[in-house]
Amino acid sequence: MNATAWSILVGESGDAEEDCRAGPGPEGYTLDYSPFSFESDCRHPAPPPTWSDAGVKPGAYTHPAGVHVAPLPHGFHLVQSPHAPVGPAVLAPSVFGRWAGFRAPAPLRDAADRRLVQLTLLRPLDAAPRLCAAAPGALTVWLHITNACDLDCVYCYVRRSSARMSKATGLRAVEAVFANAAQHGFREVKLKYAGGEASLHFALVRRLHARAAELARQHDVRLREVLLTNAVHLRPTDVDWLAREGVRVMISLDGVGERHNASRPLRNREGADTFAAVAHTVDHVLLPRGIRPDVNMVVTARTAPGAADVARWAIIERELPTSFTFYRPNLLSRGRTDLELEEAALLSGMQSAYRVLERALPTWSFTGGLLDRVSAEARTHACGVGQNYLVITHTGALAQCQMHLDRPVRADLQGDLLAAVAAGPLINLPVEQKTGCRDCALRYRCAGGCPLETFRATGRWDVQSPHCALYRALLPAVLRLEGLRLMKAHGCLQ
């Protein structure tokens, strides 16, 4: 074990990646930002906020309130500041001792202490950090290509039909997106081709991509795209195209074998092995063409016991960026009591997944999607609803969230779409305005959870998530995995 080559590891993605390429500093520490990028229904890229007092001032410094500290092997410690812009820090024994000394406020002595300040592990005694909003990141858009799907998933929130987006509507949508991106100064547009099963209308996806690429060039805006798919019937020629055009792929996987089949059956064909079809697509169609799909598991009381299998299959055996999101009751699945989240089932399912991961610990950055919408990067809002997120239905109407497809805020795409979603009925409050969250040490990782789900469970927007207890119980285990991963990646753990 080499604990002297570095003293501090900082995990998870962030804009400070550049800063970290510097390697071991003169004070004997290495910073390691390992970007984790994954896709899920609600995922939207957002640069982490910065803090007003990241610079160093004269006077005494001490620990931030609500810092999470946990022991790791060989005397190392994991330290997560509530204000850290990205993931936790892992402190080698000597640095942990140095940091612990600031429990009693003291002036900074040298560059190593100043680096602890920059990492938000120390704060000035007489000032609380103040959040500074980041510049607008990406404008993320759900393009609802069709209501049609060849599967009949038990928790689906889409009212299925053969209805699909026409070419004229799709082109109008893409043009409106870029016009709004330009109007609001976004430097990046991210399109999600979604449904239903968007790949059933692949010709439209190709056409929209071509127009989007054209507009991105004209506006000098970065374009990112992802196809959300059940991965049951992806054609090799379409995947060749995805690989060529750099369109990412997100697939759904709710278990391995029968558990997936039960949750995601073929429409009108009971007993079909949809898991085998997905596994074939991943192993024989996507991976050979260089596409590493993002995997998303919807965790219900029924699928939770299979979370460990998904962790093994996707993360350990195939190194696929994987996220586990908790089922949200919706109007179409509400009658399915067997889907309801039972906290105990969920807790034990996720804990077994974490145990499996710890036993065969990967060293690549895999931990960012292990706990619903909780993220490694600091953020004030759980998602982009009302800010930088648009949902465009197959008829060309505008909605705030994909779970509000049948409650659009506008019937057309005229004018300022961001103003329209900001004024809609779904209210996405910053975490500081949620009762119970504003003093929580996890607030900038969790941001209070999905606002729509909270409203459906409580009738209020300004309270904590119905999953609060689960987040509090599971996040320390996710942070520990990240700490162990960093140690292993740097040769401090076998």
> What is the Cα–Cα distance from 429 to 285, expressed in whole angstroms?
42
- State both tokens at 441: 């040490």
Report the distance separating Cα 279 and Cα 286, nearest Å: 10
Least distance from ligand SF4 to the Cβ atom of residue 356, Å: 24
Q: How far is the CB of 385 from ligand SF4 (least distance, A)?
A: 5
Nearer to ligand SF4, 92 or 403 (CB): 403
Our CB check for ligand SF4 shows the closer of 241 and 461 to be 461
State phi, psi for 115 to the nearest 5 degrees.
-70, -35
Can you read off the two tokens belonging to residue 183?
């109007």
Contact residues for ligand SF4, defined by CB under 6 A: 42, 373, 382-383, 385, 401, 403, 431, 436-437, 440, 442-443, 446, 448-453, 464-465, 468, 471-472
Dihedral, CA of residue 328, residue 166, residue 43 and residue 41, to nearest 10: 30
Q: Cβ distance 376 to 37 under 8 Å? A: no
Q: Which two tokens stand for residue 51?
A: 């803090």
Question: Virtual CA dihedral for 18, 19, 21, 27, nearest 10 degrees?
Answer: 180
Q: CB of 129: closest distance to ligand SF4 in angstroms?
A: 17
Output 61 or 193, the one with its CB closest to ligand SF4. Answer: 193
Nearer to ligand SF4, 277 or 421 (CB): 421
- Edge to edge, the sheet with strand 222-229 lists 322-326, 294-299, 248-252, 222-229, 188-195, 138-146, 389-392, 398-399
Question: Considering the complex, what minimum distance in angstroms separates the CB of residue 401 from ligand SF4?
Answer: 3
Distance, CA of 383 to CA of 138 (rounded, Å): 12
Spatial distance between the Cα atoms of 205 and 198, rounded to a whole number of angstroms: 8
The minimum distance between CB 421 and ligand SF4, in angstroms, equals 11
Where are any strands of DSSP class E within 196-320? 222-229, 248-252, 294-299
Min dist. Cβ of residue 454 to ligand SF4 (A): 8
Q: Cβ neighbours of residue 55 under 8 Å, at least 6 residues apart?
A: none
The least CB distance from residue 382 to ligand SF4, in Å, is 5
Closer to ligand SF4 by Cβ: residue 124 or 449: 449
The least distance separating ligand SF4 from the CB of residue 325, rounded to whole angstroms, comes to: 9
Residue 429 or 492: the one with the smaller Cβ distance to ligand SF4 is 429
431 versus 481: smaller Cβ distance to ligand SF4: 431
Distances (CA, A) of 388 to 190, 226, 419: 10, 17, 10
In the complex, the smallest distance separating the C-beta of residue 150 from ligand SF4, rounded to whole angstroms, is: 23
Give the separation between CA 178 and CA 382, rounded to whole angstroms.
24
